[in-house]
Chains A and B, each alone.
Chain A
């Protein structure tokens, strides 16, 4: 499901025109990104939580060339699903 399909799906469920939903989605993503950038963690109940995690620097050694490479630290977005979502995904038929 790509962006368009998502918008149309949401629009059909909300009974809103697609361009409006599109505007809403853009507003949401912008906010979402900004907040994540601010190092805020964002939790959506029943779905999961997003947060920024710092991956520490590490030393990687190439197994063949034995070249040691220093991997610098980095910040990544991590998503953790909520237990509710997990249960929903793993409903036994």
Chain B
């Protein structure tokens, strides 16, 4: 390796050596070669030479510096610098001695360091190993929590379907039995002795399949259960012409296990003369059904029972007494009134329940919607039949005891229906209270979110409207200020538009004119703020240049604006003539527009960058 400093002449000599080149031509070539590059660099062009690299002219920004001797602050003006970027080929050739070296991701400054790094690596590994474990553990816990949550959610949602299925299955499997039995029992029902038994049996039978599920499921299911029960009531009542009350008694018995049972027992105790044997059976049966619900409901039931029987049983007992006596019509009427009053009181409750039920699924909706109908029907029927029975009983006062007993037992059933209906209502209310307690948490959060969303939307549109109005107002002010004339003509023309098409066209012209003027006004406004955002009008020209061989837009830009980057503005001014800025047709006259000094300042980096940005846009 020599470290000689070669000059151009030495290069020429080496060039000529071993080649069929005259020294003269080689010398001239080198001279011309560099002069061409020089010219190109002057024009801001880059020169790419195969096998060597790229020459280009680079603008170095003016910067502040300090005079080393005096300590004064001085400004070094920006200047162009010719830079050479060697080709990759040349770079690799030059770097051959060190080409085997590659960047190493270690610290090879000392021998200890690699060991430390190894230690670090060893330390890192267990860290890396242990770190994923903790997140995994956390993930595991989270997964478990999520599972629990899901199971909770499922327990809320799926039982509806399940209970439906199971209930229907059980209905399909068990319903025939009650039907048959009721048939049998209805045949026997002519004798009042058997009625309570049949009623209780129906209650047992129908409650049997459903009590299987009652412990598992919650309020929703129980409303469905009510629904099923009342459906069965209808079925039974319609099929066998049985007064709805009798069937209802059976079914409501399951709903309000205790009350009807006790009601029965009480009423039976009233009729204990007739039915002494049934009492223990019924109570036992009732108790069996009650076991699940009883503990929770005992107190309530007792209270309710006492209250109800204070209210109703008084009437019932008196009624029965009356039926026994077969006399007072007034008390019967009172009783009927009372019951209708009860109906009136109950119906609103049903309404509220229906309203509550609207929030629930369709199943519960149906139940809640249908329930009041059924209940009111039964109650009304009960009331009617009671009146009828009572009157019948009065009429039949001379007739045999069996008929009286029939009537009595029927009336007693109606009363039980009414009491049971009311009790079931109360119970249902109770269930709904439970449901209400369960629902709100998620229901109200959802409602709250929805309400918030609505509020936000409302606020957003309100604000937007206000802003739009303001914009419109501003725009109208603009219009008023800048294009009063145009607007006037427009208004006049607007008023005359029905006259004809020609006026309409002039109208649109006027509108366009006004819009244009507005645009110019708007576009000139920001010009004061940012010269780059303003649209450029190339109305004033410095001169025109004719494109000849070798002339370039960058050369013109350099000549007239001080920097080749500003060729983009010449291109913009000659858009019609120049289609491709890389291929400007020869012979055309190029307009050299007068540019704002702030726009084409070769000393401003901002200007140059903006010009470069435009260049990259135009040279896509």
Contacts and interface: CB of A to CB of B under 8 A. Distances in A.
Are A and B co-members of a single complex?
Answer: yes
A72 B102 contact: yes
A75 B97 contact: yes
Contacts, number: 183
A90 B98 contact: no
Contacts of B3: 39-41
A21 B5 contact: no
Contacts of B32: 10, 13-14
Interface in A33-55: 33-48, 50, 52
Nearest to A30: B51
A30 B45 CA distance: 24
B107 A68 contact: yes
A52 B95 CA distance: 9
Contacts of A88: 38, 42
A67 B299 CA distance: 76
The main secondary structure of chain B at its interface with chain A is mixed
Contact of B106 (A34, A36, A70, A75): A70
Given A1-B47, A24-B21, A70-B106, A76 B94 contact: yes
Interface string B21-49: 10001101110111111101110011111
B16 to A, nearest CB: 8
Chain A contact surface mostly = mixed
Nearest to B1: A39
Interface string A63-79: 00001111111111111
Interface string B164-190: 000000000000000000000000000
Contact of A69 (B52, B82, B104): B104
Chain B interface residue count: which class? 35 or more
Given A24-B26, A27-B15, A75 B94 contact: yes
A34 to B, nearest CB: 8
B495 interface: no
Given A16-B25, A67-B105, A79 B6 contact: no
A52 B94 contact: yes
Interface of B: 1-8, 11, 14-15, 19, 21, 25-26, 28-30, 32-38, 40-42, 45-53, 57, 79-84, 86, 90-91, 93-98, 101-109, 550, 559-560, 562
Q: Which 8 A-B pairs have the closest CB atoms?
A: A72-B101, A79-B84, A89-B80, A29-B51, A81-B82, A3-B50, A24-B29, A70-B104
